[in-house]
Structure 1
Amino acid sequence: MSLPLKVYWGIAFSVFLILFTFILTFITVHLTNSYIKEDKGKGLSNLSLQIANNLDRYMWSRYSEITILSKLDSLHSNDSISDKREILNRVQEEIPAFSWIGITDESGMIEASTSGLLENQTISERPVFIEAREGPFIGDVHEALLLNDLLPRPDGGKLELVDISVPLVNTSGDFKGVLAAHLSWEWAREVQSSIINPYIDSGEEMEVFILSSTDQRVILGPESYIGQTLPFTDLTKSNLTNGWEVETWEDDQSFLTGYSQNNISLNYPGLEWTVLIRQPEKAAYTAAHHLSIVILISGIISAAIFALIGFRVAGKIAKPLHRITQQAELYTKGNSANFIPFKTDIKEIEELSSSLQTLINTLGVTESNLLKMEGIAYRDALTNLPNRISLELTADELLKLLNLRGTNLLFSISIWTALSR
């Protein structure tokens, strides 16, 4: 089925633009996804590094404070236990992150402590004392044992602590005891929240995991993961100390995962925690998805607009062609045709109109010449009457007509004779 030119052009414009839109959308989404994956991955890696550095700096600050405190003469003198306890209480008031601070003797018996907690009890079997006899010690996160029922627990949950301890030595270098401190693990949550919460508040889906350096178990993160070991941790840590990957977690969901280890060059025995930040891969591509929708809608609207434009442009082209066609039909029916070139601002149509006009004029002249030649061939030059050729043609036509009607041949011959005289 033939279509009008303007309809054809309208459809052609629409199909072209829709195909172009789909191709553009596919390419744009593919490139955008790659860019977003790279950008988001680096962003998560940088955030994890920021959290790891802040954790390290915080621990270094607390370690430095305990180290300085251990050098105070008041803690090495024969001052009363109450005086030493008062010093420890004032430090705790200034730095609330210290849940407990205590001083032991050479055997591990606690002599003085904040609020008098655990005084006259021994910690000789605890790492916080055993390790500190050889040098400064920082212990990983653990549940409180002796202090579990003595200190307030956050939100009614488990009380988790980080250990810091340094040896106490006299001027001769002899070991005289240990200055030990327990940090509440809540400070780590505060460090994490101060960095991550602005992103979460803006609608980003993020979860933070802090892994122990000893057994790679989760020591801070979503409640359901606490104490667990992540299946891909070894692979992640073996690659780089800082980076990102697309990891498939145990629920078979893909996450962009940024990771970093504590690696600040500070003069203290760090814990080398690993910080992971994960974001669902689908959530990371939300911007690309929205962009693809915008491109598709824009393409469809553009296709509709350009279809109308194509319809109008095709109409401008088709109108003079239609007029030329009408003139040609008049000519074929024997009517006169006046092919005057149309002023259409389209050079090819004007040339077509002019060529057809020339053709019609030529055909008219040829037809006129043929009529003149026919008149010369069938009429006598002197009398202008039909000559013998014309009469023979006329007789042949009459004979054919008479034969069709069954007219008497004798009558026909008489007519022929009469015409020949």
Structure 2
Amino acid sequence: MNLNLRTVFSGAFAVTVILLTLLLSYIIGKESTKSVEVSIGSSLAEVAYQMSENLDQFMWSRTGEVEVLSKLNAFQEPVHKEEIDGLLQQLRKSMPVFSWVGYLDTKGNVISSTDDMLLGENVSERPVFKEGVKGPFTGDVHEAVHLAKLLPNPSGEPLQFVDYSTPVYNKQGNKMGVLATHFSWEWSREVEKSIIAPLQERLKGVEVFIVSKKDNTILLGPKGEMGQKMNSYALNQARSGKNSWSIDSDINKNSYLTGYSYGDGYLNYPGLGWSVIIRQPASIALASVDQLEKFIILAGLAAAVLFGILGWFMADWIVRPLNHIAATADLLSSGVNVEIPTSNRFKDVAVLSTSLRNLVSNLAKTEPALSYMSDMARHDSLTGLPNRLALDDFLAHAVSRAKQNHTTLSFLYLDLDGFKQVNDTLGHSFGDKLLQEVSFRLLDCTRDNEIVTRIGGDEFVVILHTSAVKAMQEAEVVAKRIINKINEPFYIEDKRINVGCSVGAAVWSPESQDTSETLRLADEALYISKRSGKNRITFETAV
């Protein structure tokens, strides 16, 4: 099939625009999706952490108030019941979250309580007494059937409480009784509203869950979810002590952007291990990306039509001098003595086209070679890991990111214990293969946004992104994981090789020294680990 130039130009313009549109739609959509996921996921993780902190801080405050109350002389020397009644009533009046407060004797009899509820009853078999008589006790969220019948309940929904009790001693150290309380779980709703309301103004469809550590029961969540069991990747990550976000799915395969955090207590309050899960349906979170992709496609189709028409007229303008030359050639072939015409219209275009083709041809040949050389210059030839040059490039970006996010960088400087013996006994080829296997294990112990570099010999440097509050704890977890991983046997050419790993660590923060000083401190800490018995981690801090 023969096509004229006008058809080819018109079709080529339209097809090119359509292909570019699809390519741009894919690239922009993918990058936008990633950006939106990181932005929303980080927001959800931050709010989950705030809520977890507020829950633990609230419990710390309330338990502290009960502890202070137990130190009053009225309870240590319970002579006047009216004075005890007044103190309990005042506590409940000042803090309505105390649904019930009672003073129990050492046998579990309620000798004073707010509004005389359960007065005279024996509660010795209930955890609030059985555990509270031994020492400070915090009980997880539960329903109190008997007490719920005595308390007002306008909503009609089951009342839930959190227990706290503590023994009371007199000045001689004798146990006088137990001060027991039931906190209304409704206070958690107030914490939820104060934190989630600003988030819901920006993000639609956000759901909040507080999950018990004991049996994965949902203590707080949307209607219909409370009391159910939760089992998800985000919950398992939260249980491991992490505060981050992920793309998760429920039992119905619905996808969510999920932030999570684990309540590990506040100050001297150990916490109940509540996990806070905050999620938003991915379909809602990524709706703006879908709209952007649709707009790009529609705009691209419109541009394809426009450029198709433009190509049609442009081809006509280009083909005119070619038709003139072709007509002249036909006259020459028929024997007519005519001169082949020249067209000044395309002289500059022809020169430019030739020059550009040469330039593009040269660039196409040299660019892959330059790219390959640049990549090789930044990677270790034996292990393929980034080298010191790549480490400097990584730190430049990592420092900027840490300053923006108010986080820290943890430096792990490590080398292998017993590597020289492997080289001396088995040869350098075994040593090289061992270094390659070690590199694989180090990469398994780190995240994608972190870096593992080989500095030289059997020395490696790992840079971790850590929080501002628990940097050393987070770095220690990774370091121990690395040490345990390296301690596992290596099997190279049917030989079993055992080596150890010593680690020196230092933490960089936006307020501390520069990264080169942090690296030097980590190096010094490594030598302390070596001198202290090897196969361990040592932290070094700036003086």
Q: TM-score, normalised by structure 1?
A: 0.74
Q: Report the Cα distance in structure 1 between the residues aligned to 2:52 and 2:209, rounded to whole angstroms.
A: 11
Task: Summarize deviations over 1:288-327 as a string: whole Å, max 9, x none.
Answer: 2222223222322333343344334323323343455566
2:345 aligns to what SS in structure 1?
Answer: coil
2:148 aligns to what SS in structure 1?
Answer: coil
Q: How far off its partner does 1:343 sit?
A: 5.2
Q: Report the Cα distance in structure 2 between the residues aligned to 1:131 and 1:52, rounded to whole angstroms.
A: 25
1:295 aligns to what SS in structure 2?
Answer: helix
1:121 matched to 2:94: no
Q: Name the counterpart of 1:255.
A: 256
Question: Percent sequence identity over matched residues?
Answer: 37
1:217 matched to 2:217: yes
Q: Name the counterpart of 1:65.
A: 65
Structure 1 pair 327/157, CA: closer, same or farther in 2 (3 Å)?
A: same
| 2:248 partner amino acid | E
Q: Report the Cα distance in structure 1 between the residues aligned to 2:309 and 2:79, rounded to whole angstroms.
A: 97
Structure 1 pair 247/167, CA: closer, same or farther in 2 (3 Å)?
A: same
Q: Is the 8 A contact 1:320 1:349 kept in 2?
A: no
Structure 1 pair 334/139, CA: closer, same or farther in 2 (3 Å)?
A: same
Q: Name the counterpart of 1:394.
A: none
Residue correspondence of structure 1 range 3-402 to structure 2 within 5 A: 3-78=3-78, 80-153=80-153, 155-232=155-232, 235-236=236-237, 239-324=240-325, 341=342, 344=345, 346-347=347-348
Where is the helix percentage greater, Structure 1 or Structure 2? Answer: 1
Structure 1 pair 252/78, CA: closer, same or farther in 2 (3 Å)?
A: closer
Q: How far off its partner does 1:29 sit?
A: 2.3
Task: Summarize deviations over 1:80-137 as a string: whole Å, max 9, x none.
Answer: 3233222222222221211121212222222222222222222222111111111111
1:153 aligns to what SS in structure 2?
Answer: coil
Q: Name the counterpart of 1:367.
A: none
Q: How far off its partner does 1:248 sit?
A: 3.4
Q: Name the counterpart of 1:381.
A: none
Q: Is the 8 A contact 2:244 2:261 kept in 1?
A: yes
Q: How many residue pairs were aligned?
A: 350
Structure 1 pair 106/319, CA: closer, same or farther in 2 (3 Å)?
A: same
Q: Name the counterpart of 2:500.
A: none
Structure 1 pair 148/235, CA: closer, same or farther in 2 (3 Å)?
A: same
Q: Report the Cα distance in structure 1 between the residues aligned to 2:339 and 2:68, rounded to whole angstroms.
A: 112
| 1:148 partner amino acid | A
Task: Summarize deviations over 1:237-270 as a string: whole Å, max 9, x none.
Answer: 5654333343332223233333221124410242
Q: Return 168-177 or 257-266, whichever deviates more.
A: 257-266
| 1:96 partner amino acid | P
| 2:285 partner amino acid | A
Q: Report the Cα distance in structure 2 between the residues aligned to 1:244 and 1:37, rounded to whole angstroms.
A: 9
Task: Summarize deviations over 1:398-419 as a string: whole Å, max 9, x none.
Answer: xxxxxxxxxxxxxxxxxxxxxx
Q: Return 318-327 or 5-14, whichever deviates more.
A: 318-327
2:200 aligns to what SS in structure 1?
Answer: helix
| 1:319 partner amino acid | R
Q: Name the counterpart of 1:407.
A: none
2:278 aligns to what SS in structure 1?
Answer: strand
| 1:110 partner amino acid | V
Q: Report the Cα distance in structure 2 between the residues aligned to 1:158 and 1:7, rounded to whole angstroms.
A: 75
1:32 aligns to what SS in structure 2?
Answer: helix
Q: Report the Cα distance in structure 1 between the residues aligned to 2:47 and 2:270, rounded to whole angstroms.
A: 23
Q: Return 109-118 or 11-20, whichever deviates more.
A: 109-118
Q: How far off its partner does 1:278 sit?
A: 2.8
Q: Report the Cα distance in structure 2 between the residues aligned to 1:126 and 1:62, rounded to whole angstroms.
A: 21
Q: How far off its partner does 1:30 sit?
A: 2.8
| 2:119 partner amino acid | E
Structure 1 pair 275/154, CA: closer, same or farther in 2 (3 Å)?
A: farther
| 2:280 partner amino acid | Q
Q: Return 173-182 or 35-44, whichever deviates more.
A: 35-44
Task: Summarize deviations over 1:161-216 as a string: whole Å, max 9, x none.
Answer: 11111211100111111111111111112212222233334342222221112222
Q: Is the 8 A contact 1:104 1:178 kept in 2?
A: yes
Q: Report the Cα distance in structure 1 between the residues aligned to 2:291 and 2:265, rounded to whole angstroms.
A: 40
Q: How far off its partner does 1:75 sit?
A: 3.3
Q: How far off its partner does 1:155 sit?
A: 1.6
Q: How far off its partner does 1:56 sit?
A: 0.5
2:272 aligns to what SS in structure 1?
Answer: coil
| 1:132 partner amino acid | G
Q: How far off its partner does 1:59 sit?
A: 0.7
| 1:117 partner amino acid | M
Report the aligned-residue RMSD.
2.9
Q: Report the Cα distance in structure 1 between the residues aligned to 2:240 and 2:300, rounded to whole angstroms.
A: 44
Q: Report the Cα distance in structure 1 between the residues aligned to 2:335 and 2:158, rounded to whole angstroms.
A: 107
Q: Name the counterpart of 1:392.
A: none
